[in-house]
């Protein structure tokens, strides 16, 4: 049975005190209200991560994630953070290939392949993001784009490593825009992604991979999205900055 996961991507938002306050609120609300087995993840900015390390104790239903990592283990890479540094701060998940990193930091599929390798080698669970732009959707090439993103960055992995990934389908046109993919649109792509994995590896592996949806997911639309057969949770931007909204999204699985 694959895991249901809801991960909050805080991006470059919140000062330290506000972050701690929201993190603690999320933690309390999850402990009091979430009664399923779904996993909740918060991905704060790098500089705040170690402030949350102590809050992550066994039994706590919240895990820590990061928004990126460098592909090298260590070295002269000013301003960068390695996967092993994240692990040393209690981080379990790392977002790789978010569309904002692809767009603003020129991250290519070839680079993302190396980042996936680094994350896996250090024991992090990558949340690997794929998704098409509005132009690509309107021109009907979105299946090709998604197939290419997955195969170029991740299909070099042996099945034992691929099985450790979490995937996220994030249509670029839905991120931070208030335009959510309909449950049918999202399911179509999630089913397509699973089929690509089954064709490359096997059906058992494909059935074991959690595929999250991201793009203007909120407490109102989460249940319908998460009830689709191939949608196993969400990668949440804006709504993860409000404890109540984030936990209500997590509760869409209750």
Catalytic residue list: 98, 170
CB of 10 to ligand PEP, least distance (A): 10
CB of 65 to ligand PEP, least distance (A): 12
Listed in order, strand segments (DSSP E) in 70-172 are 93-96, 125-130, 166-169
Q: Are 49 and 247 in contact (CB under 8 A)?
A: no
Q: Which is nearer to ligand PEP, 225 or 239 (CB)?
A: 239
Q: Which is nearer to ligand PEP, 129 or 206 (CB)?
A: 129
CB of 179 to ligand PEP, least distance (A): 9
Q: Which of 178, 167, 156 is nearest to 233 (CA)?
A: 167
Phi and psi, residue 42, nearest 5°? -120, 130
Q: Which is nearer to ligand PEP, 201 or 253 (CB)?
A: 253
Helices and strands (H, E) in the chain, number of each type = 12, 8
Q: Which residue is nearest to ligand PEP (CB)?
A: 237
Structure tokens at 251: 């509760």
Residues at the interface with ligand PEP (CB under 6 A): 9, 170, 175-176, 214-217, 235-239
The C-alpha atoms of residue 70 and residue 79 are separated, in whole angstroms, by: 10
């Amino acid at each position: 049975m694959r895991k249901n996961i809801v991960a909050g991507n805080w991006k470059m938002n919140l000062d330290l005190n506000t972050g701690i306050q929201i993190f603690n609120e999320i933690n309390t609300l999850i402990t009091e209200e979430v009664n399923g087995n779904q996993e909740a993840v918060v991905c704060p900015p790098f500089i705040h991560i170690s402030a949350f390390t102590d809050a992550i104790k066994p039994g706590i239903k919240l895990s820590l994630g990061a928004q990126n990592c460098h592909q090298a283990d260590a070295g002269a890479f000013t301003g960068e953070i390695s996967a092993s540094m994240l692990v040393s701060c209690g981080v379990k998940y790392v977002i790789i290939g978010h569309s904002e990193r692809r767009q603003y930091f020129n991250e290519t599929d070839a680079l993302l392949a190396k980042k996936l390798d680094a994350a896996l080698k250090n024991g992090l669970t990558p949340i690997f993001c794929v998704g098409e732009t509005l132009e690509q959707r309107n021109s009907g090439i979105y299946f090709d784009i998604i197939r290419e993103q997955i195969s170029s960055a991740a299909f070099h992995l042996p099945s034992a490593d691929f099985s450790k990934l979490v995937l996220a389908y994030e249509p670029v046109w839905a991120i931070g825009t208030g335009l959510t993919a309909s449950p049918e649109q999202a399911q179509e792509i999630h089913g397509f992604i699973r089929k690509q994995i089954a064709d490359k590896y096997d059906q058992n592996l494909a059935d074991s991979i959690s595929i999250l949806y991201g793009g203007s997911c909120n407490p109102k639309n989460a249940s319908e999205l998460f009830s689709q057969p191939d949608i196993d949770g969400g990668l949440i931007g804006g709504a993860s900055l409000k404890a109540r909204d984030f936990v209500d999204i997590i509760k869409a699985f209750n």
